[in-house]
Amino acid sequence: MNDISSKPLEDLLDRIVAEYSERVAAGRGEQEGDLLAQVPTEQRGTLERCFKMIRGGTAGALPLTRALAPGDRLDGYRLVREIGRGGMSIVFEAVQEELERPVALKVLRPGLALEGRNVDRFQREALAIARLQHPHIVAIHGVGQAQGYHYLVMELVRGTTLEQVYRGLPAARSDWTAEELARAAGIPELARGVQSYEQALFRLLAPVVRAVGLAHDLGLIHRDIKPSNILIHSDGRAVVADFGLAKAEGDPALSLTGEPIGTPYYMSPEQAAIIEQPVGERSDVYSLGVTLYEGLTGRRPFEGRTFFEVLDAIRRRPALPPRRVRRGVSGGADAIVRKAMARVPDERYTTALELSSDMEALAAGRMTVAEAQSAGLTQRLAGLFNGLAHTLRLSSLGGEIVSERRLLGLPLIHIHVGPRVPGQPLRRARGWLAIGEIATGVVAIGPFAAGVVSLGAFALGGLALAGVALGGVTFGGVSVGILATGGMAAGIGVFGGMGAGSFGRAGLGLGPHVLSDGRLDGAARHFLGRWMPWSLWP
């Protein structure tokens, strides 16, 4: 799994911004051409904006022209090693020299510090974590500013990350055991009292999900949940880190490279839209679902060569269900992940606390709410196919069933199941068998249906049955077709309370060969008798 990284570019931008700040302080602010020439063309507009802010005095000077490195000292803290980085900050293991206490020092990138909103967002993490005070959320010790750098002092978690745990599982196999997960996490007791790998995984992560839910109760949205932000403490606790992205809904924070802050692989569809939709706590629920997906299958649901390819994949298509990726995934675990990762937010768990409750139930071997719900309409429909589901390789996610196999570009089956949530647009289904609010296919069923055979409130097709039906052979309250039957019918062959056409039966008939008593006149007999026996007609 190759991560998309912009580390060299971020470091270069930090250095250039700091160097230009020194030039302005020395009275050489007009000299910027050589600095702009060092970066790709698409980044020069961002740099010019930063330079203008520095010249105008709206941003403070940045005294260092190089990035912080191990061995440096910052306001009484000695940097030991870099342990993590993101689009907004770099995290170092450090020593608080006055107390000789090991800590994690999180430093805001100098270039981002030019804008007050980024500093506010960074400092908001300190306030957020201080309010939480939860054993499964990384503790914060302090916040400060020195030498032009803004920093947070946090609890140093000795151990590993969930990302490293995932990578520590045997790569040649996917039928992992609870014991293998316990060894990768360094927590021997994790495998005790459970029968499967997924039970151990859900036992490990359920407390983290519950902690995120409690943060939501305080109005805090994490926005960047991913395996590298879940730390495994040496005492066996999994803890969530990096609430630095917690911010008001609709704020699409950007890094210096111009990309949205946050990791694309774990973004929800509404978060991947960047600015089109509000992002709330159910976005975190989705990201937690992706984290579980990766743990169950050994792969992320969406990949891409670039940041925006990943976003486009998330926006445009559903993920394959975990059971389709790895056969060993149970129905209960599969249902939990599919519910958490539903494309429509209202179809997900209402809260992270609900998700954690289902995870705890699975870890204890009990039936989950998600599994009970998925055993309803979806499985009843699958049962009607009497084994056809396996033959067609059906996949379902978020109230939708789609066969992977296609014929002439259309899936064999495309069905929307379950009620449509308030405010959700009409759901479209296209397939050889299509069932949805708007259905198009060979057999189409829905309020608005068009197909060779179509059934619905309004139907268009070769054989149409509906309240309003248009087609070759039609049956409906209002029916128009070659052979039309209905309360009001029009066509060549008409049967209905009111009829209009070449011939037919009707209580009230309009046309040259239609009689209200149901008998054909002489002209009709002469016309039809050329190819049909007289005995067939009254």
The per-residue pLDDT for 373 is: 80
- What does the pLDDT look like over 150-198, one tens digit per residue? 888 988 988 899 999 999 999 878 889 999 999 999 999 999 989 899 9
Could you write out the DSSP letters of every residue in 368-431? PHHHHHHTTHHHHHHHHTTTHHHHHTEEE-SSEEEES-EETTEESEEEE-SPPPTTPPPPEEEE
C-alpha closest to that of 253 among 275, 230, 286, 227: 275
Residue 149, both tokens: 């750098």
Bridge partners of residue 478, in order along the sequence: 468, 488
d(CA 504, CA 494): 4
Give residue-wise pLDDT tens across range 484-514.
776 677 767 766 666 665 555 555 555 555 5
Annotation marks residue 224 as catalytic: yes
Q: Report which listed range, 192-206, 249-263, 389-403, 424-438, is most confident.
A: 192-206
Distance CA 58, CA 529 (A): 95
Order of strands across the sheet with 159-161?
159-161, 230-233, 238-240
* 407 within 8 A of 386, measured Cβ to Cβ: no
Tell me if 290 sits within 8 A of 284, measured CB to CB. no
Answer yes or no: is pLDDT of 50 > 50: yes
The pLDDT assigned to 300 comes to 93
What distances in angstroms separate CA 142 from CA 105, 114, 147, one per listed residue? 10, 22, 17
**Mean pLDDT on 128-143:** 82
Per-residue pLDDT at 199: 95
Q: State the pLDDT at residue 501.
A: 59
CA-based end-to-end distance of the chain: 77
Residue predicted with more confidence, 248 or 224:
224
The amino acid at 469: A
Catalytic residue, chosen from 11, 72, 120, 224, is 224
Residue 11: burial class (beta carbons within 10 Å; 0-12, 13-18, 19+): middle
Distance, CA of 136 to chain centre: 24
User: Higher confidence at residue 57 or residue 460?
Assistant: 460
Q: Report which of residues 11 and 463 the model is more confident about.
A: 463
What confidence tier does 220 reach under pLDDT thresholds 50, 70, 90? confident
Three-state secondary structure call for residue 356: helix
Q: For all residues of the chain together, what is the average pLDDT?
A: 76
Whole-number Å distance between alpha carbons of 531 and 233: 89
Pick from 383, 337, 341, 345: which is nearest to 362 by CA?
Answer: 337
Q: 432-488, pLDDT tens digit by residue?
A: 888 888 888 888 888 888 888 888 777 787 777 767 777 777 776 777 777 777 667
Taking the CA atoms of residue 432, residue 433, residue 435 and residue 440 in that order, the dihedral angle to the nearest 10 degrees is 30
pLDDT at position 4 is 42
SS3 content of the chain, % helix, strand, coil (to 5): 35, 30, 35
Q: What is the pLDDT of residue 342?
A: 93
Least confident residue range of 14-23, 210-219, 307-316, 353-362: 14-23
Burial of residue 4 (CB within 10 Å: 0-12, 13-18, 19+) is: middle
